[in-house]
Structure 1
Amino acid sequence: MNTDQILAEIREANLSYLMLAQSLIRSDLEQALYRLGVSEDTAQMIAALTPAQMMKIASGNTLLCRFRMDDDLVWGLLTNHGKSAANDAVSRLHASILMAGRHQEAA
């Protein structure tokens, strides 16, 4: 993949992310705050963006979204390939609880 292709992919990802974020925020603010990991002020700004503003923001060469799982414990829980589906579900639930706690700390 060359640089032009990477930049085009970033722009597309940015626009998709902004559209998804705006839709989530408008449909259920509390869920959006948790799922996006953003503050209420940021969510209100995203909700108020016009289509032209979203296109302008998305056209940059910096990826707007980022991985929120920045420690080994959460990654370990998410990638745990347990022997049973029940164990996998418990690991994912545990990871969700950890991330929700971090969202509360950031808010």
Structure 2
Amino acid sequence: MTADQILAEIREANLSYLMLAQSLIRADREQALYRLGISEDTATLIGTLSAAQIMKIASGNTLLCRFRMDDELVWNLLTSHGKASANDAVNRLHASILMAGRHQEAA
């Protein structure tokens, strides 16, 4: 993949992320804050962006979203390494609880 292709993919991901974020914020603000892992101020800003502003922000060369699972415990719960498939739902629930707690700490 060339540098130009990577930049095009980043811009596309940014546009998709901003459009999804704005849609979630407008539909259910509390769920959006949790699912996106963003603050109230950020949600307010994203929720009020115009289409032109979204296009301008998305056209940058820096990825706007990031992985929220930054520790091994959460990744292991999500990927269920070495676990039976019957525990998948429990593992995902546990991972969601851990991430929700971190969202509350950040807010």
Q: TM-score range by the shorter chain?
A: over 0.9
Report the count of equivalent residues: 106
Give the equivalent residue in structure 2 for 1:99: 99
Give the letter for the 2:40 counterpart.
E
1:31 and 2:64 correspond: no
* 5+ residue gaps, structure 1: none
Computed over aligned residues only, the root mean square deviation of the Cα atoms, in angstroms, reads 0.7
Deviation at 1:83, TM superposition (A): 1.8
CA distance in 2, matches of 1:2, 1:105: 39
Give the letter for the 1:77 counterpart.
L
Give the letter for the 1:70 counterpart.
D
What TM-score, normalized to structure 1?
0.97
Q: Percent identity?
A: 83
Which residues in structure 2 correspond to 1:1-107 (within 5 Å)? 1-81=1-81, 82-84=83-85, 86-107=86-107
What TM-score, normalized to structure 2?
0.97
CA distance in 1, matches of 2:84, 2:25: 37
Q: 4+ residue stretches of structure 1 with deviation over 6 A?
A: none
* 5+ residue gaps, structure 2: none
